[in-house]
Every structure is written in C-alpha cells, then in structure tokens.
Amino acid sequence: MDQIAVLKQLKSSPDGLTVTEAAQRLSQDGPNLLPESQTRGPLKRFFAQCHNVLIYVLLAAALITAILGHWIDTGVIIGVVIINAIIGFIQEGKAEDALRAIKKMLSSQALVLRDNKRITVPAEDLVVGDIVFLQSGDKVPADCRLLKTKSLQIQESALTGESVPVEKGSDPVVEDAVLGDRNSMVFSSTLVTYGQGVGVVVATAADTEIGHISTLLSQVETLTTPLLRQMADFGRLLTGIIIIIATLTLIFGVMVHGNSVSDMFLAAVGLAVAAIPEGLPAIMTITLAIGVQRMAKRQAIIRLLPAVETLGAITVICTDKTGTLTRNEMTVTNIATAGGGLFDITGVGYDPHGDFLFEDSEIDFGNHPVLTELTRSALLCNDAVLKKDNADWVLQGDPTEGALLTLGLKAGLNLAFEHETWPRTDIIPFESQHQFMATLHHDHTGQGVSYIKGAPERIFSMCDSHRVGIHDEAIDLAYWHSQMEVMARRGQRVLAIACKKSPAEHHDLTFTDIEQGLTLLGIVGMIDPPREEAIIAVKQCQSAGIKVKMITGDHAVTAIAIGKQMDIGDGKNALTGHDIQAMTDEELQQVVN
C-alpha cells in the first residue's frame, strides 16, 4: 500500500494529528505499553510453594504432633516446610525478574508531528496515525510505515535474526511479505543504526510485532512436570496406605486386644506420623535447587524448580540462530580476485587472528599483491573501530565495516601505520541511494588513490577493468557473477571493493570522479559464523538422541548454510513462514519429524 493510501486508511496526514485527535485516540486505544502479564504477588508466590500433596501431609502431621504435644517433631516438620517454600520462592523471584526484561524494550521518548509542529512526547502516548521522526541511535517506539527515508538502516536482529542492519525505504512491498522483507516498515523495539526516516504509526502496544511476542509468552500453557505428577501420585498412594494401616491398627487394638479407643487412637496417630517421610520434600527441593544453580552458572534461567527435572527428558531442542548458534559478529570468510580464484579466511568474529588459505594451504602475500591492496582498501575505506576489552574484541560501528576492518588486521596490516601512510583526504559516505562508500587518500609523496566499497552490481557498473596481479585487464562480468553465486550458495553477504588512482592535486572527492573508470580489486563474502561451542553442543545433543531444530527470521539460504555447518537439517531444505502457514498440523509434524 502506498503512502497516500496508508495515511487515508489511518485517517492521518503528512502534517500529523492534532493534539485533540491524539488525545481521543489515546483514550480509545490506551497507552503504547506492553500488557502486564498477571503475576502472583510475593505472598501468593510463597504459599504456592506448599501446593503439593506431600506438603499437605506434612502440615497435617505437624498439626497432629502439636495436638499430641510433640513440639520437637512439630518444629522439625514446620522447618522442613518453610525451607522448601523459601528456596522455591527465591528461585522463582529471580526468574520472573529476568523475564520482565522484555518490558524494557520499548523506547521512552518519541519525536512526533502534532498540529504541524515537532514535539517530543513519551513513547507511551503514541497513537495510530502519529507521524514519527527517526534518526541514528533511536529505538523505534512503535510499528511504523515509512513515508520518507535517507540512508535508513535498522538493526532488527531481536525480531528477525538478521545479523546486520537492514536498509529501509518507503516503496511498498508485496502484501504477504515475510517480516524480514517488509522494507517499508520499522518495528517497535528495533534500533536505528544509520540515517533518518519519517513514518506513520500503524500499531502500538500489544498490536505491534514485539507485542505479539509478549502476548504469546503470557499465554504459554503451564504443564505439570513428570516429577511433580509422580510425586503427587506417590503422595496420594502413601497417604491412602498410611490411613488404611492406621485405621486397621486402631480396629485391631480395640477389637482383638481390648485396648481403649483413646489409647489406640494415639497409637494409630503416632504410627501415621512416623510413616510420613518428612525429609523427602526437603531432599527433593534441595536437589532441584542445586540443579537450577548449576544451570544458572551456564546462563540458563529456570523459573520453577521442578522444571529443571524435565531437561533430562528432552527429545527436541528448538533454538534461535543469531547470537545463540552464531556469534552475532559478521566475519569475512571468502575473497575472490581476478585470476587468483577463491580464498578462504579462517578465524571468526572480530578477533583479528586468522589465516588466508588457497586450496587449504596458507598463502604468501608476496605472491598475491592484489590481496594486499584489497585488504588495505578494506582497512582505509572504513569508519569502524575495534577495541580489545580484556579477552574480547568490541566493535564500535557497523558490523559489515567491523568484518572488513578485522580482515585487514588478519592480513597483517598495521592500522595506525596505514592511516599515517595513506591519510584520508575526503569521503563520500554510504547512502542507500548510491549503494557505495568512497574515500580519497594521498601518501606523503602526493600520490592519490580512491577506495570504493559497496553493492557488487553497483560497483561492477562503475568498473571497466579488474586487477590481475599488478596489472589491470578488461573486466569479465561473467566470472564475477559466477563467484557471487558460489558465495550466495554459502549464505554469504557479498561486497565488492574497487580503486582508482587520483592526481596529487585532487583533494575533493565527487560522484563524477568515481562514476566510471574504476578498477575492481575483488569481492568478499561475509557471514555471521557459528559459535565453536555451539557446534560442539549440537553434536553432544545429537549423540544423546536429542534432535536440534533451528528457528530464525533470517533468509532461508542463510539458514541452510549455517545449518549445514552445524549439521542441523539436511543442508538443502528449510521451511519458511509461508510454507508452515500452508500446512496442516499433521503435515507440519510429518515434515519436522
């Protein structure tokens, strides 16, 4: 749907709503807040820990021993019950605090247009039809249809699993486009990483995509774990046996031995109390608590103590991809050059350690001068910053540029030396309209060179030659398209890098300077690589008979490539959202199994 139709349907305009209209819609639709799930208060949560047949039996035993004046037994039993409740109460409280984190994902402020004036309002006051302004660093406050954009990029990994920021535009997309392909939409809780945009709010609160997730989480059906079912059955059976034996003891003592009813009643009660396993609930609770604490040390949150027992009965694990199976750190894994073929680059993430391989053998950069030039351009035509924080490398900037910066460092280039040798003179920053970034550099002898990186098709159209060794030859587009296809089949994002010499007196870089006559240095393929520990974990699960399924909002070809590297699936097929929606439950179960 185009912008005019959207505004008409939402009864809005490019000038925004009036303050009166916004107030009316806010009163009608409610605030832009995720609905609070109904949680139990502290007191109710504490007493819920005693909702167990064995605990009821212990409480009954405590009451009877108190009536009989056995205060030590009463104190021990009550102590066991209280300790059991405290352990469960504390653990459940920690888990609920962690689960509330999703409520903090909404933006706190929004810049909107009301009465044709830009004003800042609390994000909770946004209503459908509001015109919202977005810029780099903002958290999107509601689901919006974009009206205008300028180089707008959004980090949507929380919703789609896409590792790199997504370029957005205002052009309509097909009606049934999957979430990751709705390029004319921005979604609540996602982050603006670059550029600017103007959009109209189409959904707030629970109607947003993040709101749908929150609603689904709150509707998850609570199941009784096998251990609790077995303990409940055991408690009922034990209670029935104890009552029967105590009753038979009472009858036998009175009818056979002629004892008084009062004496035999006390004897039957004492027998019943002695038969109750007072330590069983405490032992079970402490054992489960130890398991929960061990899981917590491995960054796994378990809300209810008995749930830890179900981990031993798992047959299928459904896992997210981005940041769970993968590092959420873009990494260059392949480089293609003219005449040099396809090179493999080892190492993952932003750690600048790795090797350049050709046919599984480490290369000598002296024999591949074009690789030196390509990695230097990746280093210099770059605004990202890598810093070492203890043992980790932390990126400041765009993930794609972080991958290229890491590539240059892996090639053995010294960042400070290269910047000093080839200081930057001018820049054309990346914008989605022209799909490339260019920088101009001069060495201390006055020699100039422009480095350009961007979308392959755009860069190819600007090149008339490619570099082979130290010489330039006419560009062979068929060769480069074949190399792109190889990288695409591996689920890689492809970027082209080119250069052009500049005269010493040329210090201002314009579009005219680089629109033609470039020399293509090569193309690089990058991907968010699997975690080594995740690969090991998947193998361990499979060896234990546990099936692992990957769920992601990323594109199917990327999912297949990652799945193949991790031995998840057959490396050929993936189910998309459209595929699943077209299936019946029986068909889906058959395909998944």
Please write the tens of the pLDDT for every residue from 102-116.
555 555 789 999 999
Give the range among 6-20, 72-86, 212-226, 506-520 with minimum mean pLDDT.
212-226
Q: What is the pLDDT of residue 424?
A: 96
- Average pLDDT over every residue of 248-277: 85
CB-count exposure of residue 424 (10 Å: 0-12, 13-18, 19+): middle
Q: pLDDT tens, 4-19? A: 999 999 999 999 999 9
Cβ burial of 59 (10 Å; 0-12, 13-18, 19+) is: middle
Closest-CA residue to 83 (of 310, 279, 235, 304): 279
Top-confidence residue, 304 or 520: 520
> Alpha-carbon torsion 161, 165, 166, 169, what sign?
positive
**Of 320, 383, 513, 579, which residue is the catalytic one?**
320
Q: Which amino acid is at 334?
A: N
331 Rama sector, left if φ>0, alpha if ψ -120 to 50, beta otherwise: beta
What is the C-alpha separation between 155 and 191, in angstroms, rounded? 5
Residue 296 Rama label (left phi>0; alpha psi -120 to 50; beta): alpha
> Considering the domain boundaries, does residue 148 fall inside one?
yes
Mean pLDDT of the chain, nearest integer: 87
Asked, for residue 76, whether it belongs to a domain, the answer is no
- Can you read off the two tokens belonging to residue 305? 């103590």
pLDDT at 254: 92
Rounded to whole angstroms, the Cα distance separating 513 from 426 reads: 12
Q: What percent of the chain has pLDDT over 70?
A: 94
Amino acid at 170: S
Residue 346 in domain:
yes
pLDDT band at 337 (very low <50, low <70, confident <90, very high): very high
Same domain, 500 and 552: no
> Do 515 and 563 reside in the same domain of the chain?
no
213 pLDDT tier (thresholds 50, 70, 90) = confident
Q: Is the pTM of this model over 0.85?
A: no
Q: Tell me how far apart the alpha carbons of residues 197 and 209 are, in angstroms, rounded to a whole number.
A: 19
Q: What percent of the chain has pLDDT over 90?
A: 51
Is the domain of 360 the same as that of 408? yes
Q: Which residues pair with 110 in a beta bridge?
A: 121
Q: Which parts of 256-387 fold into alpha helices (H)? A: 261-275, 279-297, 307-310, 369-380
CA dist 415 and 407 (Å) reads: 11
Q: pLDDT-derived band of residue 572, with 50, 70 and 90 as boundaries? A: confident
Per the domain annotation, does 70 fall within a domain? no
Q: Does the pLDDT value for residue 222 go beyond 80?
A: no
User: Shortest CA distance to 187 belongs to which of 175, 199, 196, 177?
Assistant: 199
**Which of 130-144, 226-240, 254-268, 318-332 has the weakest average pLDDT?**
226-240
What pLDDT is stored for residue 38 in this prediction?
62
pLDDT at 417: 95
CA neighbor of 189 nearest in space, from 170, 173, 207, 208: 208
Task: Give, to the nearest 10 degrees, the angle between helix 279-297 and helix 53-68.
Answer: 140
The residue to which tokens 């692992």 are assigned: 548
Domain check: are 562 and 544 in the same one? yes
Radius of gyration of the chain (CA): 33
Question: Higher pLDDT residue, 380 or 85?
Answer: 380
- Quickly state the pLDDT bin for 341 (edges 50, 70, 90): confident
Q: Which helix (H) or strand (E) holds 495?
A: strand 493-502
If you average pLDDT over residues 453-461, what whole number do you get? 96
Co-location of 417 and 285 in the same domain: no
Identify the CA nearest to 569 among candidates 245, 241, 253, 318.
318
Of 161, 44, 32, the residue nearest 103 (C-alpha):
32
Handedness of CA 103, 107, 113, 114 (dihedral sign): positive
Q: Which residues contact 417 (CB under 8 A, 6 or more apart)?
A: none
User: Degrees (nearest 5) of the Cα angle 179, 433, 398?
Assistant: 65
How far is Cα 267 from Cα 262, in angstroms, rounded to an integer? Answer: 9
For residue 370 the two structure tokens come to 């074009």
- Dist CA 43 CA 7 (whole Å): 49
User: Do residue 397 and residue 511 come from a single domain?
Assistant: yes
pLDDT given for residue 36 in this prediction: 66
Number of domains the chain is built from: 4
Give me the residues paired with residue 133 across strands: 111, 198
Q: Which pLDDT value is given to residue 303?
A: 66
Do the domain assignments include residue 55?
A: no
| Mean pLDDT of the region 168-183 | 88
Structural domain boundaries, residue 285? 278-313
Q: What is the pLDDT of residue 37?
A: 61
Reported as type and span, the H/E element at residue 407 is helix 399-410
Q: Which residue, 500, 518, 408, is CA-closest to 449?
A: 500
Query: Residue 201 CB: number of other CB atoms within 10 A?
Result: 26
Element (H, E) at 62: helix 53-68
How does pLDDT run across 57-108, given as a tens digit for each residue? 778 878 887 887 878 878 888 887 888 788 778 766 765 665 555 555 555 7
Phi-psi region of 313 (alpha: psi -120 to 50; beta: other; left: phi over 0): alpha
62, two tokens: 């405590």
As a three-state string, the secondary structure of 199-255 is EEEEECHHHCHHHHHHHHHHCCCCCCCHHHHHHHHHHHHHHHHHHHHHHHHHHHHHH
SS3 content of the chain, % helix, strand, coil (to 5): 45, 25, 30
Per-residue confidence (pLDDT) for residue 28, from 0 to 100:
95
Q: What is the pLDDT of residue 136?
A: 87
In the beta sheet, which residues pair with residue 63?
none
Token pair listed for 347: 């190492």
The predicted structure's pLDDT at residue 98: 55
| 266 occurs within a structural domain | no
The verdict on 31 and 169 lying in the same domain is yes
Packing angle between helix 53-68 and helix 226-255, nearest 10 degrees?
Answer: 30
Same domain, yes or no: 385 and 453: yes
Give yes or no for a contact between 163 and 157, defined as CB atoms under 8 angstroms apart.
Answer: yes
Residue 371 to residue 369: CA distance in whole angstroms = 5
pLDDT over threshold 90, residue 431: no
Position with higher pLDDT, 34 vs 247 = 247
**Nearest-10 crossing angle of helices 71-99, 53-68:** 150
Q: Residues 299, 176: one domain?
A: no
**Burial (0-12, 13-18, 19+ Cβ within 10 Å), 169:** middle
Of 197, 219, 241, the residue that ends a domain is: 219
| Short-list 230, 221, 149, CA closest to 185 | 149
| Least confident among 68-77, 296-305, 502-511 | 296-305
Q: Which domain CATH number covers 520? A: 3.40.1110.10
> Does residue 126 form part of some domain?
yes
Confidence at 451, pLDDT banded by 50, 70, 90: very high
Higher pLDDT, 538 or 310: 538
As a whole number of angstroms, the distance between CA 136 and CA 113 comes to 18
Question: Virtual CA dihedral for 33, 38, 42, 47, nearest 10 degrees?
Answer: -170
Q: Is 115 a catalytic residue?
A: no
Report the alpha-carbon distance of residue 225 to residue 212 in Å, rounded.
27
Task: Classify 161 in phi/psi space as left (phi over 0), alpha (psi -120 to 50) or beta.
Answer: left
Instruction: Tell whether 477 and 399 lie within a shared domain.
Output: yes
* DSSP states of 288-301: HHHHHHHHHHTT--
90 domain-assigned? no
* Amino acid identity for residue 497 in this structure: I
Q: Are residues 306 and 319 in the same domain?
A: no
Residue 309 and residue 384 in one domain: no
Question: Distance (Å, rounded) from C-alpha 222 to C-alpha 551?
Answer: 22
390: left (phi over 0), alpha (psi -120 to 50) or beta: left
192: domain CATH number is 2.70.150.10
3 state DSSP class of 306? coil
